């Protein structure tokens, strides 16, 4: 499948490389192609393009940009290039302007995922993967041999099911469907405790398991 990944930081690079490893046709979108020169020498199967080119390329589009830049990047990607497509939102609305720990730019009564959906009503926004580090997003078996949970939220049931199948191809064993896109408020706000856990554990190589 043709995949477009918006954002060329650690998350975008990890998602792009894993999708290519799984034989998808991948393009990564960036403002600065030069910074990916060394990375692309290892990941030769991944094409590099502008945000608009990448969104046009992908039958499914990943938003792996900084939360504070997501709406602007998706605007640059172009509404026609996102029309009717699944947009997998991995971003978090973290504001580091006052240092660490960051605050959230939106919380409680709204979420970044919902803002993206309102800005692009024809797209099918699916929120997932925003509660772990990039490496565990794409290789979940590296923590507890995969015995932990990831969450998924979306208004469109078909889009959600399609993304869930992709997550399984990454190696995810346990996917919890939280419901419609408003439930992304919870997973985005989880970052406040996640960051403290990272500090307490001294590593981001962890996740949570739901037991009942």
Residue 98: predicted pLDDT: 82
Mean pLDDT of the chain: 96
pTM of the model: 0.96
Which residues have a Cβ under 8 Å from the Cβ of 158 and sit 6 or more positions away?
Answer: 124
pLDDT at 110 over 90: yes
> Residue 19 pLDDT > 90, yes or no?
yes
Cα separation of 166 and 123, whole Å? 18
- pLDDT for 69 equals 96
Per-residue pLDDT tens digits for 38-80: 999 999 999 999 999 999 999 999 999 999 999 999 999 999 9
Q: Does domain 2-201 have CATH number 3.40.50.720?
A: yes
Q: Do residues 51 and 87 touch, judged by C-beta distance below 8 A?
A: no
- Report how far residue 142's alpha carbon sits from residue 136's, in angstroms, rounded to the nearest whole number: 7
Summarize pLDDT for 124-183 with one digit per residue, the tens.
999 999 999 999 999 999 999 999 999 999 999 999 999 999 999 999 999 999 999 999
What is the spatial distance between Cα 136 and Cα 147, in angstroms, rounded to a whole number? 12
d(CA 151, CA 139): 15
């Amino acid at each position: 499948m043709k995949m477009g990944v918006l954002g060329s930081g650690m998350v975008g690079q990890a998602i792009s490389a894993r999708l290519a490893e799984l034989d998808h046709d991948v393009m990564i979108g960036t403002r600065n192609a030069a910074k990916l020169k060394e990375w692309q020498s290892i990941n030769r199967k991944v094409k590099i393009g502008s945000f608009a080119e990448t969104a046009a390329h992908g039958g499914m589009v990943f938003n792996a940009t900084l939360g504070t830049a997501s709406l602007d990047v998706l605007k640059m990607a172009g509404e026609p290039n996102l029309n009717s497509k699944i947009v997998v939102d991995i971003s978090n609305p973290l504001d580091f302007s006052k240092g660490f720990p960051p605050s959230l730019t939106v919380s409680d009564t709204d979420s970044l995922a919902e803002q993206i959906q309102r800005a692009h009503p024809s797209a099918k926004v699916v929120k997932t993967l925003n509660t772990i580090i990039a490496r565990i997003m794409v290789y979940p078996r590296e923590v507890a041999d995969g015995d932990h949970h990831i969450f998924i939220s979306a208004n469109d049931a078909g889009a959600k099911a399609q993304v869930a199948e992709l997550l399984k191809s990454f190696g995810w064993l346990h996917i919890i469907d939280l419901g419609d896109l408003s439930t992304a408020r919870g997973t985005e706000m989880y970052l406040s405790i996640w960051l403290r856990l990272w500090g307490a554990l001294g590593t981001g190589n962890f996740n949570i398991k739901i037991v009942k």
